[in-house]
Amino acid sequence: MTGGLRLEAPAGVAPRRTRAERLALAADLRRVVADGDVLSDDVELEVYGYDASFMAQLAPSVPDVAIVARSEADVVAVMRYAAANGVPVTPRGAASGCAGGCVAMHGGIVLAMNAMNRVLDVDAPNGQVTVEPGVVHARLIEVLAPHGLLFPPDPGSSRMATVGGMASTNAHGVRAVKYGPTGAWVLGLHVVLPDGTLIETGSVGSRAKQSSAGLELTKLFVGAEGTLGVVTRLRLKLLPRPKARALVIAMFDVLERAGEAVQAVFRAGISPSAIEILDARSLRAANLYRPGLGLREAEAMLLFEVDGNPAGVRWDAETVVEAVRELATHVEWSDQEAQIARLWEARSVIGAAVGVLRPGSARAYAGEDICVPVDRIPEALRAIQDLSARHGIPVATYGHIGGGSLHPALLVDGRQRDDVRRAIELADAIHLLALDLGGTVTGEHGVGAARAMYMPREHGPALDTMRAIKRALDPTGIMNPATIFPEDVPPTPALDVTLVPGGR
């Protein structure tokens, strides 16, 4: 198996088209949606060949045609055409995904959902909002703020990610430890099925905040990564915005003590809204990138955020400080918004900052999203450091330690073929480590094409149940065909590394 990929296209999905066939496809589609919304120019299509994944950087895959959807009617028309003609369709939000999920590896149509970006209805009395899928997360938060309402999921990609992409990957974020993933906040969806049928999940026309009526179809489409249909509308549950928050920052000279500190805080009866970890390399990167931060150097730093009412927040913060005092080398807290923002900045710059650790290299999103049991985090962090040394690829690790989610940032010099090979092998080793520790290869970013090869080991016979659901809804396999299921992922020529998942 090369890069976990196979050679022939799966049944039901047409092979890549010639130029003449691509132009004919575009001409056909111009009769289905508005002329200007069908992109077939080679240069325009280049843009649609990527997401943030290392896989797509190495082997971008340009679609035959891209369509900018403007309405549900557009999506229905495109899916009807695609179903009738056996053309693969790959939905795409902001392409901030890290697993190649929105990349059309079989060609066909990329269906860009980001122009469907209206907030349709803020229903404050019923604590919900109805939106189109292309609304960017940060904008939704801004629109809700004057109403005193909050949509709690909060990915680090808030300024890029669309809510449709978030629901489709069941995105988490720093506050998932208290508020859960995106899926916990989706009350209902409009979905266009692969045959072009439009359905509404969560009861037709409902404004109820709970329901026990029938199979939970909403949950089925959340996290399906566009493999079962196209999300065209979302009804999202909201919370009143917490009135206050505080941040506790704690430094550790021994990784294991950082792990113990998390347990100590839970034992003290506190449910922080975020618990983040930055390892020594991440701290160094943050200081080099933004010297004004003046972070102490340590084996690890933990950030605990607590939120709620002002008196409760103060009590919670003081209790966190007491719980970790014996374990940490330094601990402090603040409920001053300017100071909190400064401390959070250290966390928010990490993604960009890690590049400074190795001039000439860039951060590769590969093996970047494992999740392990919370009590095995110190073990995982040490093992990642060992693997980094063994493969000769520097890694800075940070993540949502409260939920066990870790983001190893691999620093790769893409100009060096050997560096790329070692990075792919290291990412594979990190994925296998997560499975060995009783975790998952993806805590929040999703499977896409990049992690499909691990699904048989991760799910066992349950993967066949997923396949059966996929076949029932998408019998000809046109809906985002190179995602989740390993047998559907085509070969990627640039990845000439032999990986044997589960073989070691």
Ligand X SMILES: Cc1cc2nc3c(=O)[nH]c(=O)nc-3n(C[C@H](O)[C@H](O)[C@H](O)COP(=O)(O)OP(=O)(O)OC[C@H]3O[C@@H](n4cnc5c(N)ncnc54)[C@H](O)[C@@H]3O)c2cc1C
Token digits of residue 82:
């695609």
Q: Does 483 bind ligand X (CB under 6 A)?
A: yes
Q: How far is the CB of 473 from ligand X (least distance, A)?
A: 13
Q: How far is the CB of 80 from ligand X (least distance, A)?
A: 16
Q: Is 197:423 a contact under the CB 8 Å cutoff?
A: no
Q: How far is the CB of 93 from ligand X (least distance, A)?
A: 2
Token digits of residue 503:
């073989």
Q: Does 63 bind ligand X (CB under 6 A)?
A: no
Q: Does 169 bind ligand X (CB under 6 A)?
A: yes
DSSP for 254-270 reads SHHHHHHHHHHHHHTT-
Q: Does 403 bind ligand X (CB under 6 A)?
A: no
Rounded to a whole number, what is the largest CA-CA distance in the chain?
70
Q: How far is the CB of 503 from ligand X (least distance, A)?
A: 27
How many CA atoms within 13 Å lie on the side-chain side of 164?
29
For ligand X, the closer of residues 5 and 52 by Cβ is: 52
Q: 494, 357, 499: which is closest to 417 by C-alpha?
A: 494
Q: Please count the other Cβ atoms lying within 10 Å of the Cβ belonging to residue 1.
A: 12
Give the per-residue contact string, 104-133, with ligand X (x = CB under 6 A; - = no): ---------x-------------------x
Q: 371, 399, 478, 445: which is closest to 95 by C-alpha?
A: 445
Q: Does 343 bind ligand X (CB under 6 A)?
A: no
Q: Does 92 bind ligand X (CB under 6 A)?
A: yes
Q: Please count the other Cβ atoms lying within 10 Å of the Cβ belonging to residue 485.
A: 20
Q: Does 29 bind ligand X (CB under 6 A)?
A: no
Q: Does 444 bind ligand X (CB under 6 A)?
A: yes
Do strands 65-68 and 244-252 pair parallel, antiparallel, or not at all (unpaired)?
A: unpaired
Beta bridge partners of 149: 240
Among 29, 87, 94, 393, binds ligand X (CB under 6 A): 94
Per this entry, what is the length of the chain? 504
For ligand X, the closer of residues 225 and 458 by Cβ is: 225
Q: Does 368 bind ligand X (CB under 6 A)?
A: no
Q: Does 90 bind ligand X (CB under 6 A)?
A: yes
Q: 416, 432, 448, 424: which is closest to 496 by C-alpha?
A: 424
Q: Does 484 bind ligand X (CB under 6 A)?
A: no
Tell me if residue 112 falls in helix, strand or coil: strand
Q: Does 480 bind ligand X (CB under 6 A)?
A: yes
d(CA 2, CA 496): 6
Q: How far is the CB of 238 from ligand X (least distance, A)?
A: 18
Q: How far is the CB of 227 from ligand X (least distance, A)?
A: 7
For ligand X, the closer of residues 259 and 446 by Cβ is: 446
Q: Does 286 bind ligand X (CB under 6 A)?
A: no
Among 105, 166, 264, 313, binds ligand X (CB under 6 A): 166
For ligand X, which stretch binds (CB under 6 A), given 30-38, 88-96, 202-210, 488-496? Answer: 88-96
Give the per-residue contact string, 225-264, with ligand X (x = CB under 6 A; - = no): xx---xx---------------------------------
d(CA 498, CA 492): 12
Q: How far is the CB of 314 from ligand X (least distance, A)?
A: 28
For ligand X, which stretch binds (CB under 6 A), given 3-11, 168-176, 211-219, 241-249? Answer: 168-176
How many CA atoms within 13 Å lie on the side-chain side of 1?
15
For ligand X, the closer of residues 378 and 481 by Cβ is: 481
Report how many residues bind ligand X under the rule CB under 6 A. 40
Q: How far is the CB of 225 from ligand X (least distance, A)?
A: 4
325: Cβ–Cβ under 8 A, 6 or more apart, which residues? 331
Among 57, 130, 168, 287, binds ligand X (CB under 6 A): 168
Q: Does 61 bind ligand X (CB under 6 A)?
A: no
Q: Please count the other Cβ atoms lying within 10 Å of the Cβ belonging to residue 332.
A: 13
d(CA 465, CA 462): 5
Tell me if residue 137 falls in helix, strand or coil: helix
Q: Does 172 bind ligand X (CB under 6 A)?
A: yes
Radius of gyration of the chain (CA): 23
**402: DSSP letter:** G
Q: 297, 306, 317: which is closest to 252 by C-alpha?
A: 297
Q: Does 501 bind ligand X (CB under 6 A)?
A: no
Q: Does 49 bind ligand X (CB under 6 A)?
A: no
**Where do contacts with ligand X occur on this chain (CB under 6 A)?**
51-52, 90-98, 101-102, 113, 133, 155-157, 160-162, 164-166, 168-169, 171-173, 225-226, 230-231, 351, 444-446, 448, 480, 483
